[in-house]
């Protein structure tokens, strides 16, 4: 079974909001109708967004770190918002695991928003139906779009490639490998919602290198312990090793 | 959570309707079993009419909660999974069965008691559905408790019984004192349960923290921006919109108005047989219940608020 999801790398997100504007632009222009904005250029602007980038400060001055944190629907594998919907407007697609709202069936009771611990759902104040991230379901399968751009608008827009998109049930997919290799985690695991979207943690600028990755354990020619400075030195070593008679006293070690 | 008056009126009005029906049917049942005097048919009929009226008012109020009320009929479809959908079925079922019982009783039909039992089943189902709508949301920890169901049941019964006392003093004075005693008893038990709920909620520790919300383990994490300069649905729907001190005042208002004051008024009204005092008892208790329900919503702290702590 397929479970499409986003994997968001907090290590490279710079908080530019390009994903937010790209998402809004794509999703306000689609067949499902606009995403309402109220007072967009006035006092107290407000509107419906599928995706928001929030900012957190971690640590205590002066040792602080700024974490930019994009948040959209996590397309939970066990979505608490779906069973509570009284009309069946909220549903999870079997074929790709995307959680969607049927805007023609939604009665705007907001119960699903109460049932989502992540605050991923926002009501559209003009259309009075619940809206949320669709993983750009009207884009990722569109054959008229070049294949490499058949990804959610936020993923295509991200200038630092902080957003990966793919099937987390496919162990060899880019997203699965990222989750596995880079410590991908889910939000609020305490509620057992099994979010499909994962986040990759911040990393400090260190690369763990084991000693045996630098120094060979088996040194048949006994020349490995010295790090050669230049190519010429390398060649000289090789020649010396090839002709033991001309080798300097003391050998390689 | 933001307390929506549509839901506050819905839950309190159908509570009165259910409690009133249960009180009237209990009296009818006791009389049928020969344990007490047969009540005037006009009393039972008036009780049913008022119960249907309260329930219909509640149903009407619930429509104001919907963004798309014209599609409300769709809400009955997902009864297999959704408590809200089950309530949408249980409420009209209760309304119709009480109406049928009232009609059968007024026309002297032998079917009145079986129909009454049917209405009891619908009534209990409705109590369970209404309570479970809130109790099933496990991360709203203030609500996710069996106490929520018991509280809805007892407060509905208490306020309905208070109204039945008022009806009795107007139409069937022989039952005024009995009903007043029941109403005072139910109000007292309801107070105990509500106090237990308050005690439980005061000791709750939120399962989610800002650390689990964003997955950063550092003990000091402060939100600096929620991604929008203005508010959003998330800041409006999930915040009580009032200060903590206002919430505290509402708590004391409902603790006084919903419980001791109506109990005293019931006692005065029943012993003096003063319908006006009993009417006052009901009105005061109902206002208290509005405050109680307002507080019930306002007190619930949704974990999504962890993502919306700062507007900037």
User: What are the residue ranges spanned by the domains of chain B?
Assistant: 5-202+236-306
Nearest to B220 among A59, A122, A186 (CB): A59
For the cut 70, the answer to whether the pLDDT of residue B222 exceeds it is yes
Structure tokens at A129: 């139906």
Say if residues B182 and B20 touch (Cβ distance below 8 Å): no
Nearest to B208 among A45, A52, A188 (CB): A188
- In a mutagenesis test of the B interface, which of A63, A67, A119 is the best target, namely the one with the most B β-carbons within 10 Å? A119
For the cut 90, the answer to whether the pLDDT of residue A155 exceeds it is yes
**Alpha carbons B275 and B263: distance in angstroms, whole number:** 15
Q: Contacts of residue B64 in chain A, CB cutoff 8 Å?
A: none
Please give the CATH number for the structural domain made up of B5-202+236-306.
1.20.1630.10
Sequential DSSP letters for A174-243:
HHHHHHHHTT-B-S-GGG----S-EEEPP--S-----HHHHS-S--TTS-TTSPP-SHHHHHHHHHHHH-
**pLDDT band for position B150 (cuts 50, 70, 90):** very high
**Alpha carbons B79 and B124: distance in angstroms, whole number:** 16
As a dihedral over the C-alpha atoms of residue A37, residue A38, residue A40, residue A45, rounded to 10 degrees, the angle is -110
B212 CB within 8 Å of a chain A CB: yes
**What pLDDT does B54 receive?**
98
B260 against A212, higher pLDDT:
B260
B82 CB within 8 Å of a chain A CB: yes
Rounded to a whole number, what is the distance in Å from the CA of B302 to chain A's nearest CA? 7
Give Cβ neighbours of residue A117 (< 8 Å, ≥ 6 apart). Answer: A80, A188, A191, A193, B139, B208, B302, B303, B304
**What pLDDT does A210 receive?**
85
Asked if A17 lies within 8 A of B227 by C-beta distance, the reply is yes
**What pLDDT does A30 receive?**
86
Question: Average pLDDT of chain B?
Answer: 95
Q: What percent of chain B has pLDDT over 70?
A: 100
**Alpha carbons B284 and B290: distance in angstroms, whole number:** 10
**What pLDDT does A220 receive?**
61
**Which stretches of chain A are DSSP H helices?**
18-28, 81-84, 111-114, 153-157, 174-181, 211-214, 231-242
Asked if B307 lies within 8 A of A118 by C-beta distance, the reply is yes
Sheet with A63-72, edge to edge strand ranges:
A63-72, A51-60, B221-225
Q: Contacts of residue B214 in chain A, CB cutoff 8 Å?
A: 56, 67, 69, 187, 199
B241 CB within 8 Å of a chain A CB: no
pLDDT tens column, B239-251: 998 999 999 999 9
At residue B7's C-alpha, the angle toward residues B301 and B241, to 5°, is 40
**What pLDDT does B35 receive?**
86
The nearest alpha carbon in chain B to A130 belongs to B67
**pLDDT band for position A246 (cuts 50, 70, 90):** low
B302 CB within 8 Å of a chain A CB: yes
Rounded to a whole number, what is the distance in Å from the CA of B8 to chain A's nearest CA? 14
CA distances in angstroms from A97 to A82, A134, A168, A196, listed in the order given: 12, 11, 10, 9
Name the B residues in 115-144 with CB < 8 Å from any A CB: 133, 136-140
A103 CB within 8 Å of a chain B CB: no
Poorest-pLDDT segment among A155-164, B85-94, B167-176, B290-299: B167-176
Say if residues B205 and B279 touch (Cβ distance below 8 Å): no
**What pLDDT does A209 receive?**
86
**Alpha carbons B207 and B139: distance in angstroms, whole number:** 8
Average pLDDT over residues B263-287: 94
Say if residues B293 and B9 touch (Cβ distance below 8 Å): no
**Alpha carbons B305 and B307: distance in angstroms, whole number:** 5
Place of tokens 């007292």: B188
Nearest to B214 among A56, A85, A127 (CB): A56
Residue A28 backbone dihedrals phi, psi, to 5 degrees: -85, -10
Place of tokens 């700062």: B310
For the cut 60, the answer to whether the pLDDT of residue A43 exceeds it is yes
Average pLDDT over residues B253-266: 97
Burial string for B153-169 (b: 16+ CB within 10 Å, else e) reads bbbbbbbbbbbbbbbbb
Model ipTM? 0.92
Q: Contacts of residue A53 in chain B, CB cutoff 8 Å?
A: 227
B19 three-state secondary structure: helix
Sheet with A163-167, edge to edge strand ranges:
A163-167, A4-9, A198-200
Average pLDDT over residues B180-194: 97
Nearest to A58 among B71, B220, B230 (CB): B220
A183 CB within 8 Å of a chain B CB: no
At residue A154's C-alpha, the angle toward residues A102 and A179, to 5°, is 95
Q: Contacts of residue A54 in chain B, CB cutoff 8 Å?
A: 223, 225-227, 307
pLDDT tens column, B113-147: 999 999 999 999 999 999 999 999 999 999 999 99
**Between A and B, how many residue pairs show a Cβ–Cβ distance under 8 A?**
176
A84 CB within 8 Å of a chain B CB: yes
Question: Average pLDDT of chain A?
Answer: 90
pLDDT tens column, B18-55: 999 999 999 999 999 988 888 888 999 999 999 999 99
**Alpha carbons A19 and B110: distance in angstroms, whole number:** 69
A118 CB within 8 Å of a chain B CB: yes
Say if residues A128 and B72 touch (Cβ distance below 8 Å): no
For the cut 50, the answer to whether the pLDDT of residue A253 exceeds it is no
Average pLDDT over residues B195-210: 96
**pLDDT band for position A156 (cuts 50, 70, 90):** very high
**What pLDDT does A229 receive?**
59
Asked if A122 lies within 8 A of B233 by C-beta distance, the reply is yes
Asked if B68 lies within 8 A of A106 by C-beta distance, the reply is yes
Asked if A202 lies within 8 A of B216 by C-beta distance, the reply is yes
SS3 content of chain A, % helix, strand, coil (to 5): 25, 20, 60
A160 CB within 8 Å of a chain B CB: no
Poorest-pLDDT segment among A23-27, A98-102, A168-172, A200-204: A200-204
**pLDDT band for position A219 (cuts 50, 70, 90):** low
For the cut 60, the answer to whether the pLDDT of residue A227 exceeds it is no
Asked if B136 lies within 8 A of A84 by C-beta distance, the reply is yes
Asked if B238 lies within 8 A of A66 by C-beta distance, the reply is no
């Amino acid at each position: 079974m397929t479970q499409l999801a986003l994997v968001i790398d907090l290590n490279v997100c710079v908080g530019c909001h390009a994903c937010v504007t790209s998402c809004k632009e794509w999703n306000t222009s689609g067949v499902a109708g606009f995403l309402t904005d109220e007072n967009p250029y006035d006092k107290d602007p407000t509107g419906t967004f599928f995706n928001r980038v929030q900012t957190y400060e971690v640590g205590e001055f002066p040792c602080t770190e700024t974490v930019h944190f994009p948040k959209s629907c996590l397309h939970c594998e066990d979505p608490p918002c779906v069973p509570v919907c009284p009309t069946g407007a909220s549903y999870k697609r079997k074929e790709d695991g995307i959680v969607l709202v049927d805007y023609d069936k939604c009665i705007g009771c907001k119960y699903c928003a109460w049932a989502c611990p992540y605050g991923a759902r926002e009501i559209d104040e003009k259309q009075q139906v619940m809206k949320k991230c669709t993983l750009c379901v009207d884009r990722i399968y569109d054959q008229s779009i070049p294949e490499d751009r058949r990804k959610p608008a936020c993923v295509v827009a991200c200038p630092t490639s902080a957003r990966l998109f793919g099937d987390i049930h496919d162990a060899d997919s880019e997203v699965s490998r990222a989750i596995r290799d880079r410590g991908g985690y889910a939000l609020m695991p305490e509620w057992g919602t099994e979010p499909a979207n994962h986040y990759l943690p911040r990393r400090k600028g260190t690369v763990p290198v084991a000693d045996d990755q630098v120094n060979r354990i088996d040194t048949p020619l006994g020349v490995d312990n010295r790090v050669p400075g230049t190519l010429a030195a390398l060649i000289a070593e090789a020649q010396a090793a090839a002709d033991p008679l001309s080798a300097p006293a003391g050998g390689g070690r | 959570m933001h307390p929506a008056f549509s839901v506050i009126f819905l839950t309190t009005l159908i509570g009165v309707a259910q409690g009133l029906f249960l009180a009237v049917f209990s009296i009818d049942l006791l009389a049928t079993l020969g344990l007490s005097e047969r009540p005037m048919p006009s009393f039972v009929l008036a009780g049913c009419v008022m119960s249907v009226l309260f329930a219909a008012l509640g149903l009407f109020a619930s429509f104001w909660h919907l963004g798309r009320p014209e599609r409300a009929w769709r809400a009955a479809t997902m009864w297999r999974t959704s408590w809200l959908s089950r309530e949408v079925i249980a409420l009209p079922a209760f309304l119709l069965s009480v109406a049928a019982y009232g009609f059968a009783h007024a026309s002297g039909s032998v079917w009145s008691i079986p129909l009454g039992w049917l209405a009891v089943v619908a009534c209990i189902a409705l109590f369970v559905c209404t309570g479970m709508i809130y109790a099933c949301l496990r991360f709203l920890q203030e609500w996710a408790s069996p106490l929520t169901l018991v509280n809805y049941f007892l407060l509905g019964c208490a306020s309905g019984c208070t109204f039945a006392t008022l009806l009795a003093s107007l139409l069937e004075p022989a039952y005024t004192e009995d009903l007043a005693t029941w109403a005072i008893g139910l109000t007292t038990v309801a107070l105990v349960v509500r106090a237990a709920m308050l005690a439980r909620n005061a000791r709750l520790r939120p399962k989610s923290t800002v650390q689990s919300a964003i997955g950063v383990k550092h003990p000091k994490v402060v939100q600096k921006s929620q991604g929008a300069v203005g508010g959003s649905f998330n800041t409006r729907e999930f915040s009580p919109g009032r200060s903590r001190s206002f919430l505290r005042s509402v708590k004391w208002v409902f603790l006084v108005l919903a419980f001791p004051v109506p109990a005293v008024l019931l006692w005065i009204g029943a012993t003096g047989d003063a319908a006006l005092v009993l009417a006052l008892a009901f009105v005061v208790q109902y206002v208290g219940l509005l405050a109680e329900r307002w507080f019930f919503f306002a007190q619930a702290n949704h974990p999504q608020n962890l993502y919306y702590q700062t507007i900037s």
